[in-house]
Structure 1
Amino acid sequence: MSLFNPYKLRAALGRHQRVLGIDPGSVSVGLALSDVSLMLASPYRVIKRQKLGQMVAEISAIIAAEGVGALVCGLPLSMNGEKGPAAQAAEDWLRELSTRLDLPACCWDERLSSSAVNRFLIEEADMTRKKRAAVVDKMAASYMLQGWLDATRDR
């Protein structure tokens, strides 16, 4: 399956379907879910990074349980906006995941999402490093997904 234009992905969604936000890291993958009205993203959970086949089974169960109709994956662009090796790897990974799950998907710029979340958790929530490590991936996925929801609303 090819990746959708981020602004056209909403059109591929059925009524009352959610979007799964994905922040893939080298050790863990943060997940976030939209509400059915596509207004609000919420942190969902973190899963261990494994071979894609193993992850497909786990993500497929989430999709079925939560009524997910599309995927939005963080795209780690360089600070100057260019696609480097990490961004290309994320696109390739999402394309394969989307194909195996038979779901429409797109990438969305995730620059500074982890930094923003860490800053919030330190300054506002006064969380220790150990506590932040447990939530930062799913919160970064939520931050990225909320950016997509806000940018594509009413387009």
Structure 2
Amino acid sequence: MPIGLLKDILDKKPREGRLLGLDQGTKRTGVAISDPMQHIASAIEVIERKKFSIDVKRLKEIYDEYEVKGFIIGYPLNMDGTEGPRCDSVKDYALNIKQTGLFGDDPWIAFYDERLSTAAAQDFLIEQVDMNRKRRGEVIDKMAAQNILQGALDCF
């Protein structure tokens, strides 16, 4: 299965089973999971980034626990829609996930435009939940992952 933009590899998407949504940042990776029918995304956790080899072990535990069939990774396009240096980092991250061999020979990994996903999560936590700054910092990344995954699910 391929790695690529969701719109380019949608026809290769696993038809059913859970998908894992990731918001990969420099310090943390937000994680969200879909339901088996791929309709609803739920935020599940934040992985504090250490070393890739350590982080990917936790990712594998989640993958196995939820019987995941593929990945949706936030793709940080510039506001004008062009690819910036952060896109290269996400591509490298996806390739590293694939090359570990932990997720099968050729896992399905799709990139989904994540512009404003963190801002939307932050606005929700401030305006709707009235959450303080410290607590927001603890949940913002997994909510951004949920927004990314839900946006992708809504395209199916």
TM-score norm. by structure 2 comes to 0.90
Note if 1:135 corresponds to 2:139: yes
Q: What is the CA distance between 1:118 and its match in structure 2?
A: 0.4
2:126 is matched with which residue?
A: 122
Which shows bigger deviation, 76-85 or 92-101?
A: 92-101
RMSD (CA atoms): 1.6
CA contact 1:32–1:43 (8 Å) conserved in 2:
yes
Q: Structure 1 CA distance, aligned partners of 2:31 and 2:43?
A: 6
2:75 is matched with which residue?
A: 75
Letter paired with 1:57 = K
Q: What is the CA distance between 1:14 and its match in structure 2?
A: 5.6
Cα gap change, 1:77 to 1:61, in 2 (>3 Å)? same
CA contact 2:5–2:112 (8 Å) conserved in 1:
no
Note if 1:25 corresponds to 2:25: yes
2:52 is matched with which residue?
A: 52
Q: Structure 2 CA distance, aligned partners of 1:39 and 1:32?
A: 13
Alignment deviations for residues 75-100 of structure 1 (CA, whole Å, 9 cap, x no partner) = 11100000010111111111211332
SS of match in other structure, 1:73: strand
SS of match in other structure, 1:50: coil
Which shows bigger deviation, 52-61 or 4-13?
A: 4-13
Q: Say how many residue pairs are matched.
A: 151
What pairs up with 1:140-155 in 2 under 5 angstroms?
140-151=144-155, 153=156
**Percent of aligned pairs with the same amino acid:** 36
Cα gap change, 1:29 to 1:119, in 2 (>3 Å)? same
CA contact 1:71–1:98 (8 Å) conserved in 2:
no
What pairs up with 1:79-118 in 2 under 5 angstroms?
79-100=79-100, 101-102=103-104, 103-118=107-122
CA contact 1:22–1:73 (8 Å) conserved in 2:
yes
Cα gap change, 1:9 to 1:132, in 2 (>3 Å)? same
Q: What is the CA distance between 1:10 and its match in structure 2?
A: 6.4
What pairs up with 1:30-41 in 2 under 5 angstroms?
30-41=30-41
CA contact 1:9–1:104 (8 Å) conserved in 2:
no
CA contact 1:28–1:46 (8 Å) conserved in 2:
yes
Q: Structure 2 CA distance, aligned partners of 1:86 and 1:49?
A: 16
Runs (4+) of structure 1 exceeding 3 A deviation are 7-12
| Residue segments in structure 2 that go unaligned for 5+ positions in a row | none
